[in-house]
Structure 1
Amino acid sequence: MGFSGQFCEIPPMVNALYPNTAQCHSLLCGHGSCYTNENMSEYECRCHEGYAGDKCDRIRSIGLHYPSAYVALEPWAIEQGNLTFTIRTSNESGLIAYYGDDSFISVELYDGRIKIAFYIGNYPTSHMYSYVTVNDGLAHRIEIIVQGKKCSLTIDDQPMQSVENDGRLEKFSIHTKQYLYIGGLPATRATAVKSLFHVKETHSFKGDFFQSFVR
Structure 2
Amino acid sequence: MTTKPLALQNGASCVDGINEYTCKCVNEYSGKFCEVGPAVYLQTSPCQHNDCQNGICFVPANSKDYVCKCSPGFSGKHCEYLTRVHFGANDSYLALEPLKTRPSSNVTLHLRTTQKDGVLLYTGDSAHLAVELFMGRVRVSYDVGNYPVSNMFSYEMVNDGIWHTVELLTIKQNFTLRIDHGTARFIVNDGTNEYLQTTSPLYIGGLPREVAEEATKKWHLRDTGSFIGYLEGIYSCVVPPPPGCLERVYLNGRLKDLGSGQQHKVAPGCGGEETVRDQGQRGIQGVIIAAESEGPLVSGAPRVTQRPGGPAMDEQDCPHNTSIANEIQVHPPVLEETETPTEVEESGDEEAARVDPCENHKCRRGRCKPRRKADGAADYKCRCRTGWSGRLCDQAPTCRKEQFTEYYVENGCRSRRPIKNAICSGTCGSHCCKPRRTKQRQVRLICNDGTSYKKEIEIIRKCRCRRRCY
Map 1:55-74 onto structure 2 (within 5 A): 59-74=82-97
Give me the whole-angstrom Cα distance separating, in 2, the residues matched to 1:171 and 1:73.
20
1:163 counterpart letter in structure 2: I
3-state secondary structure, aligned to 2:187: strand
Do residues 213 (structure 1) and 254 (structure 2) align? no
Structure 1 residue 95 corresponds to structure 2 residue 132: no
- 2:180 pairs, out of 136, 156, 171, with 156
Query: Per the alignment, do residues 146 and 47 of structure 1 end up closer, same or farther by CA in structure 2, a change over 3 Å counting?
Result: farther
Partners of 2:99 and 2:71 lie apart in 1 by: 23
Residue 54 of structure 1 deviates from its aligned partner by 5.5
How far apart are 1:60 and its partner, in Å? Answer: 1.8
**Structure 2 length-normalised TM:** 0.36
Of residues 67, 75, 90 in structure 2, which corresponds to 1:52?
75
The SS at the match of 2:129 is strand
* Distance of 2:156 and 2:218 partners within structure 1: 28
Alpha carbons 2:84, 2:247 under 8 Å: kept = yes
- Name the CA shift for 1:46/1:182 in 2 (closer, same or farther; >3 Å): farther
| Contact 1:59–1:212 under 8 Å retained in 2 | no
| Structure-2 residue corresponding to 1:83 | 107
Mapped partners of 1:203, 1:57: distance in 2: 29
Query: Residues of 1 paired with 2:81 and 2:190: CA distance?
Result: 34
- The structure-2 alpha-carbon separation of the partners of 1:48 and 1:194, relative to structure 1 and needing over 3 Å to count, comes to farther
Correspondence for 2:204: 182
1:170 equivalent in alignment to 2:194: yes
Are the equivalent residues in 2 in contact too, given 1:96–1:204 (CA < 8 A)? yes
Give 1:74 shift.
1.3
The structural deviation recorded for 1:186 is: 0.8
Q: How far did residue 161 of structure 1 move?
A: 0.8
Query: Does the 8 Å contact 1:117/1:126 carry over to 2?
Result: yes
Unaligned 5+ segments in structure 1 are: 1-16, 19-23, 36-43
Q: CA deviation at 1:59?
A: 4.3
| Distance in structure 1 (CA, Å) of the matches to 2:136 and 2:223 | 13
1:134 matches 2:134: no
Tell me the amino acid that sits aligned with residue 198 of structure 1.
Answer: H
Determine the C-alpha separation between the residues in 2 that align with 1:82 and 1:180: 13
Give % identity: 33
Taking structure 1 as the reference length, the TM-score comes to 0.75
Q: Relative to structure 1, is the Cα distance of residues 45 and 134 closer, same or farther in structure 2, using a 3 angstrom cutoff?
A: same
Give 2:94's aligned amino acid.
V
Partner of residue 7, structure 1:
none
Alpha-carbon distance in 2 for matches of 1:121, 1:193: 15
Which residue identity is paired with 2:251? V
Q: State which structure, 1 or 2, has the greater radius of gyration over its C-alpha atoms.
A: 2
Instruction: Kindly indicate whether the alpha-carbon contact (under 8 Å) linking 2:101 and 2:195 is maintained by their aligned counterparts in 1.
Output: no
Cα distance, 1:49–1:76 mapped onto 2, change above 3 Å: farther
C-alpha displacement at 1:47, in angstroms? 6.4
